[in-house]
């Protein structure tokens, strides 16, 4: 038993030492930022940086590991946001359905995933500039459609006062909870991309990027 515990401590120490010191310094800065930064920095700067970073991370994954440059990421994220406002609660009571958060969040994720899958099915047989152009065209069409549709998307006004879920008795609209929530989601997405890139699927995706003819064979 003592030998097993000693082996575990050695493995944990080796894992700890493999993380570069700048990463630990960055983690300390991010975790302690609410103690010395104001609400504007936490909410408007860092919170939105994490959100836009997660969207950009998907572009990096497709372009860096798959060699496919797509411009549809913001539209997929917008679809998810619209579905949260439509199926949840917002200032537009005549459009929003007011479903509970444990129901409208999965619905929004599924609809956004279906939308992204449909776009991917249309763009998967293209490459290079053609992939960029078809995803850009769909993104532009989605943008103008939502701006002109007032029945579902409320046109140019969009949705305001979207009510966040009350989970664990925390108001996630406040700067500090919003900051830690967006930080946690960004870390999870980053670790997921790192894991997938080293998994068989990620290696196959890199093979398609480097030599599609050999991978097709």
pLDDT digits (tens, 9 = 90+) for 51-95: 999 999 988 888 888 788 888 999 999 999 999 999 998 888 888
**Longest C-alpha distance within the chain, in Å?**
69
Q: List the structure tokens of 125.
A: 């047989």
The helix (run of H) or strand (run of E) holding residue 194 is helix 175-198
Compute the distance between CA of residue 193 and CA of residue 37 in angstroms, rounded to an integer: 29
Structural domain including 184 reads 165-208
pTM assigned to the model? 0.81
What pLDDT does 45 receive? 93
Pair (68, 110) in one structural domain: yes
What pLDDT does 3 receive? 47
What pLDDT does 77 receive? 93
Compute the distance between CA of residue 85 and CA of residue 162 in angstroms, rounded to an integer: 6
Domain assignment present for 17: no
Q: How far is Cα of residue 130 from the mean position of the Cα atoms in its chain? A: 25
Structural domain count, the chain = 2
Q: How confident is the model at residue 14 (pLDDT cuts 50, 70, 90)?
A: low
Pair (158, 169) in one structural domain: no
Per-residue pLDDT for 169 more than 50?
A: yes
More confidently predicted of 10 and 96? 96
Pair (61, 101) in one structural domain: yes
What pLDDT does 8 receive? 52
Q: Tell me if 189 sits within 8 A of 57, measured CB to CB.
A: yes
Q: Report the half-sphere exposure of 13 (CA within 13 A, side-chain side).
A: 6
Give the CA-trace dihedral at 95, 98, 103, 107, to 10 degrees.
10
Pair (155, 60) in one structural domain: yes
Domain assignment present for 26: no
Domain assignment present for 215: no
Per-residue pLDDT for 48 more than 60?
A: yes
Pair (73, 141) in one structural domain: yes
Alpha helix segments (H runs only) across 33-90: 39-40, 48-60, 66, 73-87
Pair (194, 130) in one structural domain: no
Domain assignment present for 45: no
Pair (63, 83) in one structural domain: yes
Domain assignment present for 102: yes
DSSP state of 38: -
Pair (61, 159) in one structural domain: yes
What pLDDT does 49 receive? 94
Domain assignment present for 31: no
What pLDDT does 20 receive? 80
Q: Tell me if 178 sits within 8 A of 47, measured CB to CB.
A: yes
What pLDDT does 12 receive? 53
Pair (150, 171) in one structural domain: no
The helix (run of H) or strand (run of E) holding residue 167 is strand 166-167
pLDDT digits (tens, 9 = 90+) for 17-29: 777 888 888 889 9
Coil, helix or strand at residue 127: coil
Q: Tell me if 27 sits within 8 A of 187, measured CB to CB.
A: no
Helix pair angle (73-87, 101-123), 10° resolution: 150
Pair (139, 169) in one structural domain: no
Pair (132, 181) in one structural domain: no
Pair (128, 59) in one structural domain: yes
Domain assignment present for 60: yes
Q: List the structure tokens of 173.
A: 């609209």
Domain assignment present for 25: no
């Amino acid at each position: 038993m003592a030998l097993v515990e000693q082996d575990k401590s050695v493995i944990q120490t080796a894992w700890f030492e493999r993380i570069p010191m700048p990463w630990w310094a960055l983690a300390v800065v991010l975790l302690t930022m609410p103690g010395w930064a104001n609400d504007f920095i936490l909410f408007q700067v860092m919170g939105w940086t994490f959100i836009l970073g997660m969207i950009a991370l998907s572009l990096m994954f497709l372009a860096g590991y798959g060699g496919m440059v797509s411009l549809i990421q913001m539209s997929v994220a917008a679809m998810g946001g619209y579905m949260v406002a439509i199926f949840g609660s917002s200032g537009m009571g005549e459009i929003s359905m007011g479903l509970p958060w444990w129901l409208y969040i999965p619905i929004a994720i599924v609809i956004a995933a279906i939308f992204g899958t449909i776009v991917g099915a249309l763009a998967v047989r293209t490459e290079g500039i053609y992939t960029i152009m078809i995803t850009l065209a769909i993104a532009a069409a989605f943008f103008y459609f939502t701006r002109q549709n007032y029945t579902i998307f409320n046109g140019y006004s969009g949705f305001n006062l979207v009510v966040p879920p009350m989970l664990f008795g925390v108001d996630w609209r406040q700067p500090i909870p919003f900051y830690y929530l967006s930080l946690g989601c960004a870390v999870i997405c980053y670790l997921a991309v790192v894991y997938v890139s080293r998994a068989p699927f990620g290696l196959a995706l890199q093979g398609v990027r480097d030599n599609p003819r050999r991978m097709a064979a």
